[in-house]
Amino acid sequence: MNKEKLKKRIDAANKQTKVDLVIRHASIVNVFTKSLTTGDVAISDGVIVGIGEYEGIQEIDATGKFVAPGLIDAHVHIESSMVTPQQFSQVVLPHGVTTVITDPHEIANVSGTAGLEFMLKDSEASLLDIKVMLPSCVPATLFETSGAKLSAEQLAPFLDRPQVLGLAEVMDFPAVLRGEDAMLDKLLLSQQIDGHAAGLSENDINVYGTAGILTDHECVTKEEMIMRLERGLYVMLREGSVAKNLHALLEGVTEKNAQRCLFCTDDKHLDDLIEEGSVDYNVRVAIKQGIEPITAISMASINAAQCFGLRQKGAIAPGYDADFLLLDSLEEFRISEVYKDGQLAAQNGHYMGPIGEKCETSAVQNTVRIAAIPIDSLQIPMGHSTQAHVIGINPNNLITEHLIEEASVNNGFFVSNTSKDLLKIAVIERHQATGNIGLGIVKGLGIKNGAIATTVAHDSHNIIAVGTSDEDMKTAVEALHKLKGGLAIVQEGKVLASLSLGIAGLMSEEPFPAVYEQLKTLDQSLLKIGAPTHFNAFLTLSFLSLPVIPHLKLTDCGLFDVTSFQHIEVAVAAE
């Protein structure tokens, strides 16, 4: 800020000039005193300059309404919405989200620094305030093939960008525990570091804290949450499309510890964002579950701002950015209008802001490169064994079970069995056309006849496919190759529905309404092949390749036991 701009703001605050906008007669949600206060909210130059009595060039009578700070999603992967940052902005602003902290490690695992550049440039053109944490683990582990590798040296130049806040979720805990040089170099890049503490013990959390890691969004029980809070971490209460931990964790939130609790979505599908909401949903659930409304709003605003050092965000107070909401109801958290930098951004659930120009995407296109897939390359040898290590799905949870199941075997090879809900699953390397294919067995997806495949497969985003026959799986994978990335559903050799995700195989170039309609078509086709309705089959499938979440996962190099942190055979050794 220059001297002239500062003088202008001071004059407005001191009533020497009219302010740009005054909100009159609303009750003000004060996140500092956890109370409702009164007074005009005066705004000039996109900043709140006073609370009191002011004259404005524009004045809004907000009688009967509440003024609350704009919401902050403390940890989100925008790529999981399958639309670009600009389109994502238009989706979440009507839900009261004015700032997000994003980790673009999905696109970075595919396209490296070119992916980071795309996300930064497209974010700059959006009305939403998009802050970036630099991906710390590309690849997430060394037990899979990713499209890129990012060292501390490659990340360092991005720290000078105004959008960049620090280092994103540190998933490779073994590297932290061992104090590996490459990890230490990354940890020393910033003092703002996010964690990823799935399944870690008390002593592991000690190590994380000692390493300078400040947050965790992987808690699934209130006991885990409290243990992290006691050791000084901020805890993000996550409610995404697959990982739904909010209800369980709210049981551990009290007025004494709430100031260290934030809300996040992590990974949320476009249809869920549109129909359910972003962290505004977290706020409403928290209030219904007994959290005081202003405390819940604070968890979605000032708490996140303080965690990430965003000194001008998260409150209705002089000197803070004029990112605010007008609420018709505090108890129901019903949003009527959303303002960003003092300008109307959304009204009654509809985006009202500017539409930016499309960002150039050529550097993040054509990322699906696969070798030929002979049908026999999808066979799982069982030898003399009929028992298999099986990935057991927990609906709406990232954690899987490590099951031992009696498998159907024909001529020494596993055969999918829909009556037992044991299906073949494959991860096909798609970055370098190595021909790597990891094979496994999954229980719980419920598909009765057909196959699905996607290039959205956390975190290395190889192709992941599951089906009742090898032929349908192969057809689905080949459909993705033609699409240059996306989602596909196949039955009896026919593609029933698909969605093209041409940007790194993760995001569409189309406007969000068109992508939403295609997702609805995919949902109908999932019903045709017998997929369950109580969880999203594609999203669940996309996390079965994530080898940093317990207990059993699949990479392009084979079946991975997260507990022992090594690959294992599918067939249980015969005694």
pLDDT, tens digit (0-9, with 9 covering 90-100), for 232-272: 999 999 999 988 999 999 999 999 999 999 999 999 999 99
Angle at 451 between CA 448 and CA 455, to 5 degrees: 145
Question: Residue 294 has what pLDDT?
Answer: 98
pLDDT, tens digit (0-9, with 9 covering 90-100), for 330-388: 999 999 999 999 999 999 999 999 998 899 999 999 999 999 999 999 999 999 999 99
Q: For residue 93, which of 354, 357, 361 has the smallest C-alpha distance? A: 354
Q: For residue 195, which of 181, 185, 178, 210 has the smallest C-alpha distance? A: 210
Q: Identify the sign of the CA torsion 142, 147, 150, 155.
A: negative
* Cα 29 to Cα 67: distance, rounded to the nearest angstrom: 6
Please report which residue ranges of 318-386 form alpha helices under DSSP H: none
Q: For residue 551, which of 435, 421, 409, 391 has the smallest C-alpha distance? A: 391
In sequence order, the β-bridge partners of residue 559 are: 554, 568
pLDDT, tens digit (0-9, with 9 covering 90-100), for 192-239: 999 999 889 999 999 999 999 999 999 999 999 999 999 999 999 999
Average of per-residue pLDDT across 520-545: 93
Q: Coil, helix or strand for 380?
A: coil
What are the Cα distances from residue 420, in Å, to 128, 148, 390, 448, 529? 47, 38, 12, 11, 16
Q: Coil, helix or strand for 324?
A: strand
The answer to whether the beta carbons of residues 267 and 100 sit under 8 Å apart is: no
Question: Residue 324 has what pLDDT?
Answer: 98
Question: Residue 397 has what pLDDT?
Answer: 85
Tell me which long-range contacts 562-569 makes (C-beta under 8 A, separation of at least 24): 562/199, 563/402, 565/143, 565/174, 566/143, 567/143, 568/389, 569/389
> Lowest-confidence range among 282-291, 436-445, 490-499, 536-545?
536-545
Average of per-residue pLDDT across 431-439: 97
25-51 core/surface letters (b: 16 or more CB in 10 A; e: else): ebbbbbbeebeeeebbbbbbbbbbbbb
Residue 548: pLDDT band (50, 70, 90) is: confident
Phi, psi of 90 (to 5 degrees): -70, -25
Please report which residue ranges of 415-511 form alpha helices under DSSP H: 470-483
Question: Residue 140 has what pLDDT?
Answer: 82
Is pLDDT at 452 greater than 80 in this prediction?
Answer: yes
Q: For residue 46, which of 127, 131, 154, 158 has the smallest C-alpha distance? A: 127
Residue 141: pLDDT band (50, 70, 90) is: confident
* Cα 78 to Cα 268: distance, rounded to the nearest angstrom: 8
Surface-to-core class of residue 6, CB atoms within 10 Å of its CB (0-12 exposed, 13-18 middle, 19+ buried): exposed
Question: Residue 1 has what pLDDT?
Answer: 76
Which residues 6+ apart lie within 8 Å of 2 measured at CB? none
Is pLDDT at 533 greater than 90 in this prediction?
Answer: no
Q: Which residue has the tokens 């609370």?
A: 51
Question: Residue 565 has what pLDDT?
Answer: 87
Question: Residue 575 has what pLDDT?
Answer: 63
The mean predicted confidence, pLDDT, of the chain is 96
Question: Residue 142 has what pLDDT?
Answer: 83
Claim: this prediction has a pTM higher than 0.85: yes
Read off the tokens for 531: 């997929």
* Cα 13 to Cα 44: distance, rounded to the nearest angstrom: 8
Is pLDDT at 126 greater than 80 in this prediction?
Answer: yes
